[in-house]
Amino acid sequence: MTAAGDSAFAGSIPQLYQQLLVPLIFEPYAADLAGRIARLAPARVLEVAAGTGVVTRRLASVLRPATAIVATDLNQAMLDQAAAVGTGRPVEWRQADALQLPFEDQSFDVVVCQFGAMFFPDKPKAFAEARRVLRPGGRFVLNVWDRIEQNELSEAVTHALAVLFPDDPPRFMARVPHGYCDAAAIARDLALGGFGRAPELATVTARSRAESARTPAVAYCQGTPLRGEIEARGADRLNEATDAAEAEIARRFGPGPVDARIQALVIAVERA
């Protein structure tokens, strides 16, 4: 797929993403990030690549009522889904490109990004924008998925599709969500973005649970840009691919409830 295809969250994807993927893999890390940010007691928080608002909702529930929260995403359809779900208190939703943020210099205490950096076509530029809008002493906090081998459902789905499409396997999951997990590369990109201090790094492992193998199969195959890669190999093959993913997940975890390992890296860096 093209780079644009790698970040295509359109059609029914935002709804499936919110309904299935958010509880499956994103909720534990949203709670983790929100807890880290709450301890900083910020007055103004900017979220980039907010998606359907899983972190935004957590921030709205744990930050002080006086804290201003601005949540942005490049994809308006994802923001529309986030706004439809809503938050417990007012949040400013705004369509914005992380590579060209429409905010004044030094206007936020914290910039947060959950599982979005992997999609940035120019990561140092995006990081430079995060630094630009941070006040001195402000923090940029982000997370990225660890290697696909440490994330059992992503690996199972990728394996199933490699068997189904042996001549041209869809590799979106390995290429993008799990393709930016080298700590040295992330530190280098942050330095290129102007962050002069060494970032703090933590590895956070959690569990991904579902009532059956069907839920993660649909979530990954139909609720992410992986869907576009599957449909590019045959417009009628989406259900076949979903069935293959379900069968592989059931083979690994059994016919009943699924309990799988997920792992991510959390990075925090201060603007000097």
CATH of the domain at 114: 3.40.50.150
pLDDT tens column, 84-135:
999 999 999 999 999 999 999 999 999 999 999 999 999 999 999 999 999 9
Q: How many CB atoms lie within 10 A of CB 239?
A: 12
| Domain span at 206 | 3-270
Task: Give the helix/strand (H/E) hosting 83.
Answer: helix 76-85
Provide mean pLDDT across the span 218-235.
94
Query: Under DSSP, is residue 55 helix (H, G, I), strand (E, B) or coil?
Result: helix
Domain tally, the chain: 1
| Residue 9, pLDDT score | 53
- Do 257 and 212 form a contact (C-beta atoms < 8 A)? yes
pLDDT tens column, 134-163:
999 999 999 999 999 999 999 999 999 999
The rounded distance, in Å, linking the Cα atoms of 37 and 21 is: 23
- Do 120 and 99 form a contact (C-beta atoms < 8 A)? yes
- Do 249 and 156 form a contact (C-beta atoms < 8 A)? yes
Provide mean pLDDT across the span 190-217.
98
pLDDT tens column, 52-79:
999 999 999 999 999 999 999 999 999 9
